[in-house]
Amino acid sequence: MLQTEKVIYLDCDLFVNMDIAELWNIDLGEHYLAASIDQGIMGVKEEIIACGLEPSRYFNSGVILLGLANMRARTNRDQEMLRFLSDYPHTTLPGQDVLNH
pLDDT tens-digit readout, 3-34:
889 999 999 999 999 999 999 999 999 999 99
93 in a structural domain: yes
Let me know the angle formed at the C-alpha of 10 by 1 and 12, rounded to the nearest 5 degrees. Answer: 105
Q: Residue 43 domain-assigned?
A: yes
Domain count, the chain: 1
Q: Is residue 1 part of a domain?
A: no
d(CA 47, CA 31) in angstroms, rounded, equals: 26
| pTM value > 0.85 | no
Closest alpha carbon to 6 in 16, 25, 14, 59: 25
